Amino acid sequence: MAAIWAARHGAQVSLLEGSTQCGRKILISGGGRCNLLPTNSSIHDFYTSGSRNVLKRLFRTWRLEQIQNFFPQELNLPLEEEEATGKLFPQAQKAKIVRDTLLEAAVQAGVQVLCPFRVVAIEKFDDGFSLHQEEGKSLHCHSLILATGGMSVPQTGSDGFGYRLAKKLGHKILPTYPALVPLTSQDKELQQLAGLSVEVGWRAVKNNKTLDQGVQPLLFTHQGFSGPAILDASHWVVRDKAELLVAWENYSTEDWEPYLKSRVRQGLLKALADQLPRRLAALLLARSGLREDMRCGNLDRGKTQTLFRNLCDFPLPIHSNRGFAVAEVTGGGIPLHEINPSTMESRKCPNLFLCGEILDVFGRIGGYNFQWAFISGRLAGEQAAKSLLEH
């Protein structure tokens, strides 16, 4: 996106891709279908440890509706909404079409694509940069846009080396961590529920304070937990060591209380299993110290409280996370205050521009990360070209 907009604004642009093909991460995105954008978004869908006002300003430079129109109108790539989730996919439901269309648009705009060209070192001169390849080949440019991504799924080419390049050019790198990542558990009984997906109301809690919450499906896996609820909540656990509490099916005590009262003669397992997957219901009863055939009407106060805690505030026993190998994005990175938010130009190194996941911004699942990459990429490309042509 940065290359397209730089070329559209009259710059002579070379796109250097270190991997054997461009946009490999696009190819694996959205389960191979590429969830290109969300239908709606707000600033609350994004995370940064930097200024939210800066983020707001950046998002105003290319509004979601304009990006949604850009693909069908300017790139002839129609999008389709997945009704259940509100996610936008290419109508063809193939990520490859997105990658090919973007690459074609770059070439049509006059971009020279050099692939593979892995940059192993960058030298800064008064009049620009020299980008060096391992084989000794190098290329000189006046302005440089660093769009090397984060370090999640490193075999796609974004292996974190870009952070080292940025550091050499004077940037600070905030500690990086896997975000939007499945979590692991050593709880064997919960692991045995692998494959089960349950809607949950989740809360990330630290020191009795709720940091974030949502209502999404949770998937039990052989290693622990995944699914949209876990991916979106994971960074609170990985970065802030928060606890995750879930309400199964998002039912509260106020939902369960009258429900159980209306079934006083029924056995607990039957009553719970009418609302929850049976294996989960049985496990929650066992953990509450209750017999499956105990009648709903025979619960005493203490046992009811334990049961309600397990039903509505179940603390997920989390051990760790699955790491960068499977994380969808990288948290941390180059702090927002080290760029000029009007131009995406580095405040540390003139004529260097930064965009995408390398910066300390990421979105939740649902197309928000491409939205960020597109917004920051377009602005970086446009402004890099403008500053170049002004000289």
- Range in contact with ligand FAD (rule: CB under 6 A) among 27-35, 54-62, 216-224, 301-309: 27-35
Residues 379 and 63 sit within 8 Å (Cβ to Cβ): no
Say whether residue 370 binds ligand FAD (CB under 6 A): yes
Q: Which residues neighbour 387 within 8 Å (Cβ) at sequence distance 6 or greater? A: 143, 343, 345, 351
Tell me which of 98, 147, 169, 173 binds ligand FAD, using CB under 6 A: 147
In the complex with ligand FAD, which residue's Cβ is closer, 136 or 258?
136
Among 202, 222, 176, 218, smallest CA distance to 323 is for 176
Among 33, 32, 35, 95, smallest CA distance to 364 is for 35
Beta bridge partners of 225: 183, 220
- Per CB under 6 A, contacts with ligand FAD among 59-118 are 118
Smallest gap from residue 33 Cβ to ligand FAD (A): 8
Say whether residue 119 binds ligand FAD (CB under 6 A): yes
Number of C-alpha atoms within 13 angstroms, CB side, residue 343? Answer: 18
Q: At what angle do helices 52-60 and 368-390 cross, to 10 degrees?
A: 80
Place of tokens 């500053």: 387
Place of tokens 């949209």: 228
Q: In whole angstroms, what is the distance from residue 277 CA to residue 303 CA?
A: 21
Say whether residue 171 binds ligand FAD (CB under 6 A): no
Residue 291, number of CB atoms within 10 A of its CB: 12
In the complex with ligand FAD, which residue's Cβ is closer, 100 or 313?
100
In the complex with ligand FAD, which residue's Cβ is closer, 102 or 246?
102
In the complex with ligand FAD, which residue's Cβ is closer, 118 or 309?
118
Tell me which of 232, 249, 338, 357 binds ligand FAD, using CB under 6 A: 357
Tell me which of 216, 310, 321, 369 binds ligand FAD, using CB under 6 A: 369
User: Binding marks (x or -) toward ligand FAD, 34..53, rule CB under 6 A?
Assistant: xx------------------
In the complex with ligand FAD, which residue's Cβ is closer, 35 or 223?
35
Residues 41 and 369 sit within 8 Å (Cβ to Cβ): no
For residue 62, CA distances in Å to 7, 66, 67 come to: 18, 6, 7
Tell me which of 3, 5, 15, 18 binds ligand FAD, using CB under 6 A: 18
Helix (H, G, I), strand (E, B) or coil at 321: strand
Say whether residue 356 binds ligand FAD (CB under 6 A): yes
Say whether residue 367 binds ligand FAD (CB under 6 A): yes
Say whether residue 58 binds ligand FAD (CB under 6 A): no
Smallest gap from residue 380 Cβ to ligand FAD (A): 11
In the complex with ligand FAD, which residue's Cβ is closer, 276 or 329?
329
Among 373, 338, 329, 333, smallest CA distance to 355 is for 373
Smallest gap from residue 278 Cβ to ligand FAD (A): 32
Give residues in contact with ligand FAD (CB under 6 A): 16-19, 24-25, 28-30, 34-35, 118-119, 147-149, 152-153, 157-158, 161-162, 328-329, 356-357, 367-370, 373
